[in-house]
Amino acid sequence: MDELPGDLPEAAGRRFAEGSFTSGLSVPDFAACLQMGLEPAGYVQGFCVMQWRWYGMGMSFGAFGPTGRANGQGYSEAWQCPHGYVSAEHRGWGQNYEQTWIEDAWREGFSSSYERMLEEARTLGAHGIVGVVDASSPLGDLGLLEFRVQGTAVRVIDGPPPIGDRPWTTYLAGQRLGKLIEAGYAPVSVAAAISSVRVWANCITEYLTEGSTTNWGQVAGAEIEQTAKAHMAVRRIARERVRAALGGDSLHGASLATTERELGQGDAELQCILRGNQVRRFKDFDPLAAPRPTVRLS
Amino acid sequence: MTTASRGGDRTEGEIDLRAEMLAAAHSLNGPASPSGPSTTSDLSIDEELILHSIGWEPVELVCGMSLHAVPMGVWNWGQGEISYASDAYQRSFAKATDRIHRECAKAGGHGVVGVHVEWAVHRHHIDVTLTGTAVRPVGSKRVTAESVFVSDLSGRDFTLLHTAGWAPLGLAAGASFVYAPRRSLGTTMKQKGVNVELTNFTEAMYSARESAMERMQRSALDLGGSGVVEVKVTEGPMDFARHAVCFMAYGTVVHLVADEHQRMQPTVVLPLDDAVLSFDATSLRGS
When scoring B2, B12, B21, B43 by the number of chain A Cβ atoms within 10 A, the one with the most, hence best to mutate, is B21
| CB B3 within 8 Å of CB A294 | yes
Scan residues 166-225 of B and list those with Cβ closer than 8 Å to A: none
For the segment A13-72, what is each residue's pLDDT rounded down to a tens digit?
A: 777 666 677 888 888 888 889 999 999 999 999 999 999 876 545 443 434 433 444 556
Which of A33, A50, A159, A160 lies closest to A111 in space, CA to CA?
Answer: A50
B101 close to A (CB below 8 A): no
User: A178 touching B, CB under 8 A?
Assistant: yes
Kindly state whether residue A70 falls inside one of the protein's structural domains.
no
Tens-place pLDDT, residues B183-236: 889 988 988 888 989 988 999 999 999 999 999 999 999 999 999 999 999 998
Mean predicted lDDT score pLDDT of chain B: 88
Alpha carbon distance A163, A33 (integer Å): 21
Q: List, as ranges, residues 244-263 from B with C-beta within 8 Å of A.
A: none
Chain A, chain B: beta-carbon pairs less than 8 Å apart = 251
**Is the model's pLDDT at B6 over the cut of 70?**
no
HSE-CB of B44 using CA atoms within 13 angstroms: 13
Confidence at B276, pLDDT banded by 50, 70, 90: low
Q: What whole-number distance in Å separates Cα of residue B228 and Cα of residue A175? A: 34
Q: How far apart are alpha carbons A224 and A242 in whole angstroms?
A: 28
Cross-chain residue pair B53–A252, CB shorter than 8 Å: no
Q: Taking the mean position of all CA atoms in its chain, how far away is CA A54?
A: 20
Q: Is residue A291 included in any domain, yes or no?
A: no
Q: Which fold has domain B38-258?
A: Translation Initiation Factor IF3 (3.30.110)
- Is A105 inside any structural domain? yes
A263, part of any domain:
yes
**What pLDDT is stored for residue A217 in this prediction?**
63
Q: Which of chain A's residues have a Cβ under 8 Å away from the Cβ of B27?
A: 186, 280, 282-283
Residues 6+ apart with CB under 8 A from A209: A201, A224, A227, A265, A266, B69, B124, B125
Residues of A in contact with B50 (CB under 8 A): 288, 291
A positions 52-71 inside 8 Å of B (CB): none
Nearest by CB to A253, from B44, B53, B87: name it.
B44
Contact B97, B171 (CB under 8 A): yes
- Output phi, psi for B7, to 5 deg: -75, -170
Report the domain count for chain A.
1
**Nearest-neighbour CA in chain B from A286: distance (Å):** 7
Position A158 in a domain: yes
Compute the average pLDDT of residues B279-286: 64
Decide if B2 and A292 are in contact by the 8 Å CB cutoff.
yes
Note down the domain range covering A26: 21-53+75-281
**3-state per-residue secondary structure call for B173-219:** EEEEEEECCCCCHHHHHHHCCCCCCCHHHHHHHHHHHHHHHHHHHHH
Domain-embedded: residue A204 = yes
Q: Where are the domains of chain B?
A: 38-258
Which residues 93-112 of chain A have a CB within 8 Å of chain B? none
CATH of the domain at A228: 3.30.110.70
Helix (H) or strand (E) holding B168: strand B166-179
B154 and chain A in contact, CB less than 8 A:
no
- Cβ-contact A203, A91 below 8 angstroms: yes
Which of B4-18, B138-152, B184-198, B247-261 shows the lowest mean pLDDT across its residues? B4-18
**pTM to 2 decimal places:** 0.86
Q: Are A213 and B72 in contact (CB < 8 Å)? A: yes
H or E, element range at A41:
strand A38-51
